[in-house]
Amino acid sequence: MMAVLDIALILPLGVGLLAAGLAARLRGHRAAVAGSVAAALGLLVYLLVSIGAGGSVPATPFWAVPSLGIDGGLRLDGLSLLFVLLITGIGALVLLYAGRYLQGDPRLTRLVVLLLVFMVSMLGAVTADDVITLFVFWELTSIASFFLVGYDHEKPAARKAALQALLITGGGGLALLAGLILVAVAAGTTSLSGIIAAREAVLAHPAAVPAMLLVLLGCFTKSAQFPFHFWLPNAMAAPTPVSAYLHSATMVKLGVYLLARLNPVYQTEALWQDLLTGAGLLTAATGALLALRETDLKRVLAHTTVTALGTLVLLIGIAPDLAATAAVTFLLVHALYKAALFLVAGILDHETGTRDASALGGLRGAMPWTAAAAVLAAFSMAGLPPFVGFVAKEIVYEAKLAAGGAAAVVAGIGFLVNAAMVAVAGLLSWRIFFGPQRPTPRVPHDPPKSMLAGPVLLAGLGLLAGAAPGLVGALLLDGAAAAILGRPVDVPLKLWHGFTPVLALSAATIGLGLLILLGWGRLMPRLRGVSAVDRLGPSRGYEHALAGLVAWADGTTRTVQHGSLRGYMRTLLLVAAVAPLAVLVARGGLDLPAGVGLDARAFAFGLIALGAVATAMARSTFAAVMAVGLVGFGTALVFLMHGAPDVALTQFTVEVLLVVILATVLIRLPVQRRDVRVPRQRVGDAAVALVLGGSVAALLLAVLAAPFDPRLGVWFGENSVPGGYGRNVVNVILVDFRALDTLGEIAVLAIAAFAVIALLRGAARPLRPGS
Amino acid sequence: MDPSLILRVSAPLLLWVPMVVSLYLLIRGHNDPGGGFVGGLVASAGLVFYAISRGQEAALRAMRLPPATWCGIGLLAALGSGLLAWLDPAAGFLTHRWWFPDIGFKLPLGTALVFDIGVYLTVVGTVTAMVFALVGEEAR
């Protein structure tokens, strides 16, 4: 049974990837249909798994790494199921829509493949029961988002927005990885359920607060919380289906998902509650204000998405039973109406040629179906009865009013934000579809069915769910809310609460919202006129940071890679000299070996010294090469006389080759044959040489002073003949005992040879001028 | 700068003497000073001398195959000698195998020699490839 569930849980991931592969072979519209079918299949499988197992399903997939303590598990519980249904359901509709929206675009196939890859990543992230698995899928969604935002890669704005989204979510992702590792170390397991079970250990760990802050940073960047909210509106450079799917319904909610997942661990911590409440409130308010000063439909919607994300984070921060239910309800509601509205915005753009809210009006007659979908979704957004948006708004208000000490502030700001949402909803439905019709670049008409299916279905679901909120709650939302709290909840969802203070608040919200809507024509230009928002916003901070980074890289490159060969050599040699000296000093100074003396064999050292002095005195490059050769031969003599004939032989050969090669190269290359350094340079070079020589000498003396452990040499000596059938121990070590090392070394040699060939071929110019 | 007459005439000697010496070093290496690495260096020195005296074209002709190819053959030989270890499933990679066929005396034959030949060829290929590329007739 276990095995069957294992497979069933991984199956949709496989189906998604398979569909991506299949779609890559298909062209355009067909690829989109194939993807849509795959998404629907995934939905079905997850539903069956969930129903078949009843509740929480664990699985251990093949990518587990037990040796690193990563079990890689997947798990399907209430919260995961809610996300999975949104991802696959909206995914299927968006893919269908995209096939028609971008019909004829040669890059449509690529878009479909990327959307499917994104879908698989999302599914993996929300079903992962292992923080490492979760992180990998989390980052994959960022990468997919990068490619999708940069879909119109020939436009600089799209490239910039793609990079911005990647840098911000990716930077947050790094923080998240660090935080998750700290949490996993504290809990002693990478399993999410294990971490929740070990919450005391996680909270008691010395690094508990930094770990929490790092995780929060990851979640806040992903879910566009203030001050990182600005990447989301800019990501609207993506094609509209992408915006509807990634940047409203699914990916941006991944941060909210992880906050909800980890809430059972941190929910009692005051800092957690305060940060979530504060960030959420600030984000919601920022989004609402900015939404009112935009006219581009997609940017308006993006800012309201920021508002919704803020509200979700806020609700998780409040987190008693009421707020958890409110959070999951609002999450579902928002996904339904916002995806629908985005798709409507895409239809408007597609069929009228503009998505400027101030240029559109009275389209009801020309596009009746689109108008119906827009109005249904907007009513849900505004929180009007009998839509599920109303249910959500009521319970959100209830949760905010129960938010303890800060209830007044939270509910007060919430009231203003909701009024702004009502105004935006009115803008998107009333102003665009009713009133006088305005001329548009194209003659407007309803789009084909495959584009209408998404918005109509999603908006219709909002109405249906509003009719039976109790059923939706019991089937879907209770399980999800239970995951946020770590225990079952019992908050029945009702459409009608009776005449309560919350109802009065709702009525007042709608009233204020209508007022704002009526005054939008005058309010919007005023808000736009406040240029401080553009000058001082965090988005400017991002630009400055990016420019600073580039300038810094520029500066370091100029200082470090100055292009002077002599300078590189000086740096290398000085580092090689100073590093060992520093170690020697740190270890308590230089130990001199006892009883160093000279014997008859010392004449070899005389040879070395002679070579060194001759090199230093040499006025021509040739003479210097020869003199250095003398040093090499002297060294070889030392080896020979101290019982290392093999090393001496190699040294002799290398010296011969080196002198021959240097001489040959010097003849052919256009280099200075004479020493042209001025006295000051010679003194500087001499200083470098003396430091390096002194350092090496000190190091060798220190080596001699250290006690010698002969065990290795003795072992090789004893085993050379019986083990390797050879009397030359050096050779037996090279070809037998340490043959793998030798294999690696000759591989490096070959690679170096190829590199030299490639480099010199690249600079295929006459090396000898005039020949 | 043309090579001197003495150098040009003695060129074959400067090629073949190091070649023979290098093979001798390679074969004796297992029991006496020598081995694939030194052997390869000596052979390379011979080839580089030959290239100086008779030109790179001649040296490349004498090698029959391009230096980079010799590198590859050497690497494959070394790798192959290691793979032969798996004739015995229990032995690890690069565990050398030995045979002692009786031809009047017991001739020790081992895959270690194949490995050393691989080292020899790789060194020859590498050094000649680098020097010829640096001196650069090939590139023109």
Q: Which of A378, A344, A394, A129 is nearest to A243 (CA)?
A: A344
Task: Name the residue facing A766 among B126, B131, B140 (closest C-beta).
Answer: B140
3-state helix, strand, coil in chain B (%, to 5): 70, 5, 25
Amino acid at position A694, single letter: G
Q: Do residue A749 and residue B68 have CB atoms under 8 angstroms apart? A: no
Max distance between CA atoms of chain B, in angstroms, equals 60
**What pLDDT sits at residue A763?**
54
Give the pLDDT mean for B64-88.
88
pLDDT at residue A698 tops 70: yes
Q: Do residue A739 and residue B118 have CB atoms under 8 angstroms apart? A: no
**What pLDDT sits at residue B77?**
93
Max distance between CA atoms of chain A, in angstroms, equals 112
For the segment A355-404, what is each residue's pLDDT rounded down to a tens digit?
Answer: 888 888 888 888 899 999 999 999 888 888 888 888 888 888 888 888 77
Q: How far apart are CA A343 and CA A256, in angstroms?
A: 23
Instruction: Look at residue A353 and give its three-state secondary structure.
Output: coil
Give the pLDDT mean for A492-501.
77
Q: Do residue A650 and residue B67 have CB atoms under 8 angstroms apart? A: no
- Residue A71 is encoded by which pair of tokens? 């079990």
Strand partners, A70: A65
Instruction: Look at residue B96 and give its three-state secondary structure.
Output: coil
Label each residue of A226-240 as H, E or C. Answer: CCCCCHHHHHHHCCH
Instruction: Look at residue B101 and give its three-state secondary structure.
Output: coil
Give the pLDDT mean for B92-107.
76
End-to-end CA distance of chain B: 18
CB A225 within 8 A of CB A279: yes
Q: How far apart are CA B124 and CA B138, in angstroms?
A: 17
**What pLDDT sits at residue A1?**
39
A742 chain-B contacts, CB cut-off 8 A: 78, 115, 119
What's chain A's length in residues?
Answer: 771
Q: How far apart are CA A49 and CA A72, in angstroms?
A: 19
CB A119 within 8 A of CB A91: yes
B34 chain-A contacts, CB cut-off 8 A: 646, 649, 728, 731
- Residue A7 is encoded by which pair of tokens? 């497979």
**What pLDDT sits at residue A66?**
72
Q: How far apart are CA A764 and CA B14, in angstroms?
A: 30
Closest Cα of chain A to B65: distance in Å?
A: 15
Average pLDDT, chain B: 84
Strand partners, A8: none
The DSSP element (H or E) to which B92 belongs, if any, is: none
Q: Which of A97, A161, A156, A147 is nearest to A117 (CA)?
A: A147
Amino acid at position A96, single letter: L
Note which residues in 35-64 of chain B have CB less than 8 A from chain A. 35-38, 41-42, 44-45, 48-49, 52
- Residue A140 is encoded by which pair of tokens? 């994959």
**What pLDDT sits at residue A67?**
72
Task: Name the residue facing B68 among A649, A725, A757 (closest C-beta).
Answer: A757
Instruction: Look at residue A54 and give its three-state secondary structure.
Output: coil
Q: How far apart are CA A383 and CA A395, in angstroms?
A: 11
What's chain B's length in residues?
Answer: 140
**What pLDDT sits at residue B123?**
94
Whether the CB of B3 is below 8 Å from some CB of chain A: the reply is no
pLDDT at residue A10 tops 80: no
**What pLDDT sits at residue A441?**
84
**What pLDDT sits at residue A262?**
92
Give the residue on A whose Cα is nearest the Cα of B121.
Answer: A746
Closest Cα of chain B to A631: distance in Å?
A: 19
B101 chain-A contacts, CB cut-off 8 A: none
Q: How far apart are CA A91 and CA A118, in angstroms?
A: 10
Strand partners, A18: none
Residue A297 to residues A107, A240, A345, A358, Cα–Cα distance (Å): 24, 11, 6, 9
Q: How far apart are CA B21 and CA A760, in angstroms?
A: 31
Quote the percentage of chain A above a pLDDT of 90. 28
Q: Do residue A730 and residue B35 have CB atoms under 8 angstroms apart? A: yes
pLDDT at residue A164 tops 70: yes
> A637: which residues sit within 8 A by CB, 6+ positions away?
A604, A607, A648
Average pLDDT, chain A: 85
**What pLDDT sits at residue A4?**
60
CA dihedral A582→A584→A587→A588, nearest 10 degrees, is -110
Of B133 and A746, the structure prediction assigns the larger pLDDT to: A746
Q: Do residue B122 and residue A749 have CB atoms under 8 angstroms apart? A: yes
* Strand intervals (E) in A8-107: 57-59, 74-76
**What pLDDT sits at residue B135?**
75
Q: Do residue A753 and residue B129 have CB atoms under 8 angstroms apart? A: yes
pLDDT at residue B119 tops 90: yes
Whether the CB of B93 is below 8 Å from some CB of chain A: the reply is yes
Closest Cα of chain A to B119: distance in Å?
A: 7
Give the pLDDT mean for A418-430.
89
Closest Cα of chain B to A643: distance in Å?
A: 11
Amino acid at position A537, single letter: G
Whether the CB of B20 is below 8 Å from some CB of chain A: the reply is no
Helices (H), A150-266: 156-187, 192-197, 199-204, 208-222, 231-234, 240-244, 254-266
**What pLDDT sits at residue A430?**
85
Q: How far apart are CA A132 and CA A12, in angstroms?
A: 20
- Residue A234 is encoded by which pair of tokens? 């800019």
Q: How far apart are CA B36 and CA A757, in angstroms?
A: 23
B36 chain-A contacts, CB cut-off 8 A: 734-735
Give the pLDDT mean for A670-682.
78
Q: How far apart are CA A627 and CA A608, in angstroms?
A: 9
Give the pLDDT mean for A617-629.
86
**Interface test mutation site (partner B, options A746, A760, A765, max chain B beta carbons within 10 A):** A746
Closest Cα of chain B to A768: distance in Å?
A: 9
* Count of CB pairs separated by less than 8 Å, A with B: 153
A724 chain-B contacts, CB cut-off 8 A: 30, 96, 112
Residue A458 to residues A89, A122, A159, A465, Cα–Cα distance (Å): 10, 20, 31, 11
Q: How far apart are CA B51 and CA B130, in angstroms?
A: 13
Give the pLDDT mean for A439-454.
86
Whether the CB of B136 is below 8 Å from some CB of chain A: the reply is yes
Strand partners, B110: B98
CB B111 within 8 A of CB B79: no
- Residue A336 is encoded by which pair of tokens? 């339904």
* Strand intervals (E) in B1-140: 98-99, 102-103, 105-106, 109-110
Q: How far apart are CA A41 and CA A25, in angstroms?
A: 20
B94 chain-A contacts, CB cut-off 8 A: 736, 739-740, 743
CA dihedral A340→A341→A347→A350, nearest 10 degrees, is -130
CB A59 within 8 A of CB A308: no
Task: Name the residue facing B125 among A736, A753, A760 (closest C-beta).
Answer: A753
Please state which of the ranges A285-289, A407-411, A624-628, A673-677 shows the lowest mean pLDDT.
A673-677
The owner of tokens 């600005």 is: A230
- The model's confidence at residue A766, banded by pLDDT at 50, 70 and 90, is very low
> A195: which residues sit within 8 A by CB, 6+ positions away?
A131, A183, A184, A187, A189, A202, A262, A265
* A469 upstream amide cis, omega within 30 of 0: no
Instruction: Look at residue A440 and give its three-state secondary structure.
Output: coil
Closest Cα of chain A to B18: distance in Å?
A: 11
Quote the percentage of chain B above a pLDDT of 70. 94
Task: Name the residue facing B48 among A660, A724, A742 (closest C-beta).
Answer: A660
pLDDT at residue A505 tops 90: no
Quote the percentage of chain A above a pLDDT of 70. 94
Cβ-based burial of A354 (10 A; exposed 0-12, middle 13-18, buried ≥19): middle
Q: Do residue B112 and residue A724 have CB atoms under 8 angstroms apart? A: yes
Closest Cα of chain A to B78: distance in Å?
A: 7
**What pLDDT sits at residue A139?**
94
**Interface test mutation site (partner A, options B22, B30, B138, max chain A beta carbons within 10 A):** B30
**What pLDDT sits at residue A47?**
82
**What pLDDT sits at residue A141?**
94
The DSSP element (H or E) to which A83 belongs, if any, is: helix A78-101
- The model's confidence at residue B140, banded by pLDDT at 50, 70 and 90, is very low
End-to-end CA distance of chain A: 81
Task: Name the residue facing A653 among B45, B52, B118 (closest C-beta).
Answer: B45
CB A726 within 8 A of CB A732: yes
Q: Do residue A756 and residue B36 have CB atoms under 8 angstroms apart? A: no
Give the pLDDT mean for B60-73.
91
Closest Cα of chain B to A562: distance in Å?
A: 24
Please state which of the ranges A163-177, A191-205, A484-498 shows the lowest mean pLDDT.
A484-498
Residue A401 to residues A21, A409, A481, A493, Cα–Cα distance (Å): 50, 9, 19, 17
**What pLDDT sits at residue A180?**
94
**What pLDDT sits at residue A477?**
86
Closest Cα of chain A to B103: distance in Å?
A: 18
Give the pLDDT mean for B7-22.
88
Task: Name the residue facing B133 among A657, A724, A760 (closest C-beta).
Answer: A760
**What pLDDT sits at residue A624?**
86
- Residue A94 is encoded by which pair of tokens? 């968006």
| DSSP codes, A490-512 | -----S---S-HHHHHHHHHHHH
Q: Do residue B129 and residue A757 have CB atoms under 8 angstroms apart? A: yes
Closest Cα of chain B to A627: distance in Å?
A: 19
Q: What phi, psi does A441 have (nearest 5°)?
A: -55, -35
* Alpha-carbon Rg for chain A in angstroms: 35
* Alpha-carbon Rg for chain B in angstroms: 18
Q: Which of the residue ranges A349-363, A696-710, B61-75, B88-102 has the most confident prediction, judged by mean pLDDT?
A: B61-75
pLDDT at residue A768 tops 50: no
Closest Cα of chain B to A650: distance in Å?
A: 5
- The model's confidence at residue A767, banded by pLDDT at 50, 70 and 90, is very low
Q: Do residue B126 and residue A665 have CB atoms under 8 angstroms apart? A: no
Q: How far apart are CA B3 and CA A687, in angstroms?
A: 39
Q: Which of B55, B52, B69, B59 is nearest to B126 (CA)?
A: B69
B63-83 burial by CB neighbour count: b if 16+ within 10 A, else e? Answer: beebbbebbbbbbebbbebbe
Q: Do residue B38 and residue A761 have CB atoms under 8 angstroms apart? A: no
